[in-house]
A and B are shown apart, each in its own frame.
Chain A
């Protein structure tokens, strides 16, 4: 197809995710990059190109954050670009790395994602105030949480979903995160704990939401020739997809993410996947809120519309279920340094497919996994299909 080259992931690195880390953004980028290179058995001099993913400049409080982070990502004197599609960045950045190598222009690409949200105080929610429409939304005092609450409520209404069903996602993911050495908010909680947590903007409660975090993640991408030289276990990027819906967020139905479906269809077509629930062994959909995991499972065509809560209740999405969803612990459990959180999901699928996920390893010798992130103003979908 179009003379594309096959691209593999050959190494991954991840820092701790924490509310406040001492390291600067550059230092976080370095820690993740170095770990990914070590895992791949490669030196920085083996890297021909670098792609950086990082979300709003206002989090770190550095304008031109791409340039600021470049040296931490090992980009000095190399072809380098920063990409940014809001919350979708973490999965989009490996996609951008993919086309660097798939085009044949480079044999290797270091993909690095970073976010240091603690720089913005008292709370990075302030950095979100300027993402909304200046004319029609901001004068009303828009906050991020009530915007999500509108979507969550519509989703619940459309399919008659109970809060108890949605809370199970938070319970599952925070428990899964107990086995993740980088996790920020791992916990053994119950559905009742979620339902009794503080009501922020009904129906969103405190424990429905992922935290704000500092952290970084990195991946080493390589062409087929290089991959086969450096590892016996390459994980192939077999499908990529991305899509944006209307940027006027009120111009969407809110109960179903079409843009995720379109991105997924693009990635599945490339990967030759015809029956996603049968052919996909595990998935890491984006879960900044518990209902979003369900929303995105449906958009990824892993089940029918409105069916995700039932699958969760039945344990199908548990780590040892038929279709493990967010075995990492997700954003709800591991944490949510925006761009790094999406890349953490790609790292997780990589480790799972290599059988290197330790206590988080899903049973059944998985061969195909999907990671997805979601962003911009609630209308961007990025999807990657990995296979070993």
Chain B
């Protein structure tokens, strides 16, 4: 095989192509209801399995464990806890971000799973695993039924 060490791939004879395709992803049965609750009522919901008792967040249409259809929805409030977090210093291309961004996995009591989201109103060095946080929602007129209707989670008072 070729033993040449190539650091600049543009030096090799090549053809430039792209796979440009756009997609429209439906939110789904559970996803639409979950995000609609955030949009209309600024509340985070879980779905409880009546057979296993497991509460899923984000809610699903079915229980992964027993395949029961999930019909009972529970208001989990807007407060959770930092389960783990990272401080991102670079973007997709490896370029330094102007300001680091804190991403966390936030859990809600005994519910199974959690939400990943940004943390705000807090400095990287002030975050800790186990820290109570609460959701900060965009104003109602700006909410579109997206996970970004939650601006970020901030330290809970």
Instruction: Please list the residues of chain A having a beta carbon within 8 angstroms of any beta carbon in chain B.
Output: 15-16, 18-23, 27-28, 31, 58, 61, 63, 118, 121-123, 125-126, 129, 134-137, 139-140, 142-143, 145-146, 149-151, 153-154, 157, 198-204, 246, 248, 250-251, 254
> For B93, what are the chain A residues with a Cβ–Cβ distance below 8 Å?
122-123, 125
A305 CB to nearest chain B CB (Å) = 17
> For B1, what are the chain A residues with a Cβ–Cβ distance below 8 Å?
15-16, 21, 23, 27-28, 31
Using A135-B25, A139-B148, A202-B86 as known contacts, list a sample of 14 further A-B pairs with CB atoms less than 8 Å apart, ordered by residue number in A: A16-B3, A21-B2, A22-B2, A31-B1, A135-B28, A135-B35, A151-B84, A198-B89, A200-B89, A200-B94, A202-B87, A202-B89, A248-B60, A254-B84
User: Are B6 and A21 in contact, with the CB atoms below 8 A?
Assistant: yes
User: Are B116 and A201 in contact, with the CB atoms below 8 A?
Assistant: no
> For A22, what are the chain B residues with a Cβ–Cβ distance below 8 Å?
2, 4, 6, 12
For the complex, give the distance between the alpha carbons of A136 and B58 in Å.
9
User: Are B31 and A150 in contact, with the CB atoms below 8 A?
Assistant: no
> For A27, what are the chain B residues with a Cβ–Cβ distance below 8 Å?
1
Residue of B nearest to A61 (CB): B19
Would you mind naming 27 contact pairs between A and B with Cβ atoms under 8 Å apart? A18-B5, A20-B6, A20-B12, A22-B2, A22-B4, A22-B12, A23-B1, A31-B1, A135-B25, A135-B31, A135-B147, A136-B31, A140-B147, A143-B92, A145-B90, A146-B86, A153-B86, A154-B105, A157-B84, A198-B90, A199-B89, A200-B88, A200-B89, A200-B94, A250-B105, A251-B56, A251-B114
User: Are A201 and B87 in contact, with the CB atoms below 8 A?
Assistant: yes
Q: Say yes or no: A137-B19 contact (C-beta < 8 A), given A20-B6, A153-B85.
A: no
Total chain B interface residues with beta-carbon distance under 8 A = 48
Residue of A nearest to B106 (CB): A250
Q: When A and B form their complex, what is the total count of cross-chain residue pairs whose Cβ atoms lie within 8 Å?
A: 127
Residue of A nearest to B112 (CB): A251
Instruction: Please list the residues of chain B having a beta carbon within 8 angstroms of any beta carbon in chain A.
Output: 1-7, 9, 12, 17, 19, 23, 25, 27-28, 31, 35, 56, 58, 60, 64, 83-94, 103-105, 112-118, 124, 129, 146-148
A314 CB to nearest chain B CB (Å) = 27
User: Are A63 and B64 in contact, with the CB atoms below 8 A?
Assistant: no
For the complex, give the distance between the alpha carbons of A153 and B129 in Å.
9
Residue of B nearest to A199 (CB): B89
> For A202, what are the chain B residues with a Cβ–Cβ distance below 8 Å?
86-87, 89, 124
B69 CB to nearest chain A CB (Å) = 17
> For B27, what are the chain A residues with a Cβ–Cβ distance below 8 Å?
135
User: Are B147 and A139 in contact, with the CB atoms below 8 A?
Assistant: yes
Contact of A201 among B83, B90, B118 (CB under 8 A): B90
> For B90, what are the chain A residues with a Cβ–Cβ distance below 8 Å?
145, 198, 200-201
User: Are B92 and A123 in contact, with the CB atoms below 8 A?
Assistant: yes
For the complex, give the distance between the alpha carbons of A62 and B93 in Å.
22
In the A-B complex, the 5 residue pairs with the closest CB atoms: A149-B86, A154-B84, A134-B25, A251-B113, A202-B87
User: Are B116 and A136 in contact, with the CB atoms below 8 A?
Assistant: yes
Q: Say yes or no: A23-B2 contact (C-beta < 8 A), given A58-B19, A123-B93, A140-B118.
A: yes
Contact of A248 among B23, B94, B113, B117 (CB under 8 A): B113
Q: Say yes or no: A123-B94 contact (C-beta < 8 A), given A140-B117, A201-B87.
A: yes
> For A15, what are the chain B residues with a Cβ–Cβ distance below 8 Å?
1
> For B2, what are the chain A residues with a Cβ–Cβ distance below 8 Å?
21-23
For the complex, give the distance between the alpha carbons of A145 and B2 in Å.
31
Residue of A nearest to B54 (CB): A251
> For B6, what are the chain A residues with a Cβ–Cβ distance below 8 Å?
18-22
> For A20, what are the chain B residues with a Cβ–Cβ distance below 8 Å?
6-7, 9, 12
Q: Say yes or no: A201-B31 contact (C-beta < 8 A), given A123-B93, A150-B116.
A: no
> For B124, what are the chain A residues with a Cβ–Cβ distance below 8 Å?
202
For the complex, give the distance between the alpha carbons of A3 and B140 in Å.
65
Residue of B nearest to A63 (CB): B19
